[in-house]
Amino acid sequence: MNYPSLKEFIDRLELEGELLRIIQPVSPILEIAEITDRISKQPGDRASNKAGGGKALLFENVEGSSMPVLINAFGSTKRMNLALGVHDIEDIAKRIESYIKIPPPTTLLEKAKLLPMLLQAAQFPPKLLRTTHPPCQEVIHLNDDIDLGTIPILQCWPQDAGRFITFPIVINRSVDKKIRNVGLYRMQVYDKKTTAMHWHIHKDGAHFFHEYRKQNKVMEVAVALGADPASCYSASAPLPYGIDEFLLAGFIRKASVPLVKCKTVDLEVPANAEIILEGYIDPSEMRLEGPFGDHTGYYSQDGDYPIFHLTAITHRKNPVYLTTIVGKPPQEDFYLGRATERIFLPLLRTQLPEIVDMDMPVEGIFHNCVIVSLDKHYPMQSRRLMNAFWGLGQMSFVKTIITVDTEVNVHDYEEVAKLLLNKVDFATDLFFSEGVLDVLNHASDQRLHGSKLGIDLSTKIEGEPGYKKEAPVSANSSELPSAEKVMAIFKEVQNCKVLELQAKRSVLLVALNKTGPHQGKQFIQSFLDHPEFFAINIIIVLEGHVEIENISTVMWKFFNNLDPKRDFYFHAERLGIDVTQKFHEEGYQQNWPDEIEMTAEIKTQVDKKWNDLFKE
């Protein structure tokens, strides 16, 4: 289905029973985020055919604004499919694959068969409308009428530096005006006419900004809040440099995205958007932005970023403010990321045809872990694949890559975990590298770069290290220590648990009360040397407050806090992994961020309102 605007998508969500309207008064300061966080984390239930991610929420009575707030609109597999007009996200991937695999026509008949597909493709580019009264410009605010305070912009988390626009479709052009960039970059509100523009150093928006800075030119910017669902998704997609995101949106919609000229800047914006912000960035101006509770589940650090000055706000007569929250997974952004994983898989295969399938676990928050199955034909092909990933666009930020054989289901994490514990050879299967990391990665000693880990679980072939090497001997479950024994000997252990995976290697999770530098390393060495605990093959040391009974939380912590080369300690055929917080005395040069946690006061306020929120 092609949605001309966000309004039609809202109607469809309601028709499908995927929308909850909340008429009770709520505050945009923390309350909406707390309510949404609880809803978005509602688990699925296969028995009742209930999907995870809860429902989309439309808050119709937001304190301080007449605009309703739509949130969690894309926060489930079903809603993501609805948003992109398909029964299954894989349908879009198949369409992309059909274009990639078009053989050059050799006969007149083949050319005739190709014509409908080429005509369909010709409809995809965005279309500039000549109308003087598009929906997004039904109401126009200029000069002293510009006031961001009329929009119910959220403060999501207690330590956030203020209110942040979290789902902006930011539009700008290269300094020569030839290339348009459309991206999602959060915007901290400073006052009624200015915001920050937080584009990461590796993103196209930052690249364009530096072009303007070199030439000392002012950069025009426009921001759409609440466009059609395909455009909202496409702004988040990791397209190659120079490819117009509205072109992808048109491909998904099977219809061009209609654009109109802005009122005060020379840019085009989606004609059917709910709200448009117009303005400029002076590259000579920078201002402190952040902290902000980010999708890692931690607060990202503050830093100097460009300032966006508004020259106009235009909007529909009765606009809806589309927004999102990010934080400890799962959140709405997971489903947007999952769509990207599936849609872009055929494009990855054009460069790396041995890829069979891939999965980015929610606990890996996109850039911390990727599981890839490959069709392997020659020695060290897995390592070649890992190195290729680490040099490929946004895949270059991935910290841990696990490769498996074709027949392994990369989406079955228990299967992959058992394979790892039964098969991995520490001497031949672990591959350490170094390279760029996402700006939000806090684990490495230095910002923006650090170590990476490749785990090769593919079957070894002749000529490869580990070929015909015997698998590890199974752990004797009768010799595995109890939690009580571990805690009796090591008083600093808050809690511990042996994983029950019936695998050849045993794993012990430890929540350690770490009070000083090097304590994690020292504990691992003492534990692995202790004669009572030789039956434990792998020990993972986490911070004392981690709920080790929750495996999803454990893996989220593991992937977030891991710097592989620093945190792996080998002891013969055994391994200790220290994913506790690091101190400057340990060589750590960043500022370890706080985990995102809502205040007790807001939790209590929402508890009191909860039952009334969802009454008709």
Token pair 């270059």 in the structure block, residue: 396
Q: Say what the pLDDT of residue 392 is.
A: 86
Task: Say if residue 118's pLDDT is above 80.
Answer: no
Query: What would the DSSP string read from start to end of 541-585?
Result: EEETT--TT-HHHHHHHHHHH--HHHHEEEETTEEEEE-S---GG
% of residues, the chain, pLDDT over 90: 77
Q: Say what the pLDDT of residue 1 is.
A: 72
Q: Mean pLDDT of all residues in the chain?
A: 91
Q: Give the mean model confidence (pLDDT) for residues 402-414.
A: 96
Which among 474, 465, 390 has a CA at the least distance from the CA of 428?
465
Would you tell me how many other CB atoms lie within 10 Å of the CB of residue 550? 11
Based on the domain organization, do 377 and 431 belong to the same domain?
Answer: yes
Task: Say if residue 211's pLDDT is above 80.
Answer: yes
Q: Say what the pLDDT of residue 202 is.
A: 66
Q: Give the mean model confidence (pLDDT) for residues 4-20.
A: 96
Q: Are 74 and 232 in contact (CB under 8 A)?
A: yes
Query: What would the DSSP string read from start to end of 251-302?
Result: HHHTSPPEEEE-SSSS-EEETT-SEEEEEEEEEEEEEEE--EE-TTSBEEPP
Distance CA 307, CA 103 (A): 48
Q: Say what the pLDDT of residue 291 is.
A: 96
Tally of domains within the chain: 3
C-alpha Rg value of the chain to the nearest Å: 26
Task: Say if residue 111's pLDDT is above 80.
Answer: no
Task: Say if residue 48's pLDDT is above 60.
Answer: no
595 lies in some domain? no
Tens digits of residue pLDDT in 446-496: 988 999 999 999 999 998 888 888 776 665 556 888 899 999 999 999 999
Based on the domain organization, do 496 and 361 belong to the same domain?
Answer: no
Task: Say if residue 144's pLDDT is above 90.
Answer: yes
587 lies in some domain? no
Based on the domain organization, do 313 and 192 belong to the same domain?
Answer: yes
Q: How many CA atoms, within 13 angstroms, populate the side-chain half-sphere of residue 381?
A: 19
Q: Domain holding 517: CATH number?
A: 3.40.1670.10
Q: Are 399 and 360 in contact (CB under 8 A)?
A: no
Token pair 């950069």 in the structure block, residue: 219
Distance CA 317, CA 274 (A): 9
Q: Say what the pLDDT of residue 120 is.
A: 59
118 lies in some domain? yes
Q: How many CA atoms, within 13 angstroms, populate the side-chain half-sphere of residue 612?
A: 9
Q: Give the mean model confidence (pLDDT) for residues 211-236.
A: 95
Tens digits of residue pLDDT in 528-569: 999 999 999 999 999 999 999 999 999 999 999 999 999 999
SS3 474: coil
551 lies in some domain? yes
Task: Say if residue 433's pLDDT is above 70.
Answer: yes
588 lies in some domain? no
Based on the domain organization, do 264 and 413 belong to the same domain?
Answer: no
Tens digits of residue pLDDT in 298-349: 999 889 999 999 999 999 999 999 999 999 999 999 999 999 999 989 888 9
Based on the domain organization, do 263 and 362 belong to the same domain?
Answer: no
The bridge status of strand 369-374 relative to strand 355-359 is antiparallel
Vertex 169 angle, CA 167 and 170, to 5°: 120
Distance CA 332, CA 334 (A): 5
Task: Say if residue 527's pLDDT is above 70.
Answer: yes
Q: Say what the pLDDT of residue 84 is.
A: 95
Based on the domain organization, do 309 and 175 belong to the same domain?
Answer: yes
Q: Say what the pLDDT of residue 374 is.
A: 97
Burial zone of 509 (CB within 10 Å; 0-12 exposed, 13-18 middle, 19+ buried)? buried
3-state secondary structure 182-213: EEECCEEEEECCEEECCCCCCCHHHHHHHHHH
Model confidence band, residue 183 (pLDDT cutoffs 50, 70, 90): very high
Q: Give the mean model confidence (pLDDT) for residues 170-194.
A: 94
Model confidence band, residue 106 (pLDDT cutoffs 50, 70, 90): low
Look at the alpha carbons of 228, 229, 232, 234 in this order and tell me if their dihedral is positive or negative.
negative
Last residue of a domain, one of 456, 485, 509: 456
Model confidence band, residue 282 (pLDDT cutoffs 50, 70, 90): very high
% of residues, the chain, pLDDT over 70: 93
Based on the domain organization, do 236 and 137 belong to the same domain?
Answer: yes
Task: Say if residue 46's pLDDT is above 60.
Answer: no
530 lies in some domain? yes
What is the extent of the structural domain holding 218? Answer: 1-351+603-616
Based on the domain organization, do 346 and 358 belong to the same domain?
Answer: no
Task: Say if residue 47's pLDDT is above 80.
Answer: no
Maximum Cα–Cα distance for the chain, whole Å? 81
Which among 522, 552, 73 has a CA at the least distance from the CA of 541?
522
Based on the domain organization, do 415 and 554 belong to the same domain?
Answer: no
Model confidence band, residue 100 (pLDDT cutoffs 50, 70, 90): low
Model confidence band, residue 215 (pLDDT cutoffs 50, 70, 90): very high
Based on the domain organization, do 303 and 450 belong to the same domain?
Answer: no
Based on the domain organization, do 279 and 132 belong to the same domain?
Answer: yes
Based on the domain organization, do 215 and 96 belong to the same domain?
Answer: yes
468 lies in some domain? no
Q: Average the pLDDT over each of 10-19, 278-287, 429-438, 607-616 and give the range with the smallest value.
A: 607-616
Q: Say what the pLDDT of residue 204 is.
A: 75
pTM above 0.85, yes or no: yes
462 lies in some domain? no
Distance CA 236, CA 184 (A): 6
Would you tell me how many other CB atoms lie within 10 Å of the CB of residue 242? 11
Highest mean pLDDT out of 189-203, 242-256, 274-288: 274-288
Q: Domain holding 97: CATH number?
A: 2.30.110.10
The residues that are catalytic are 294
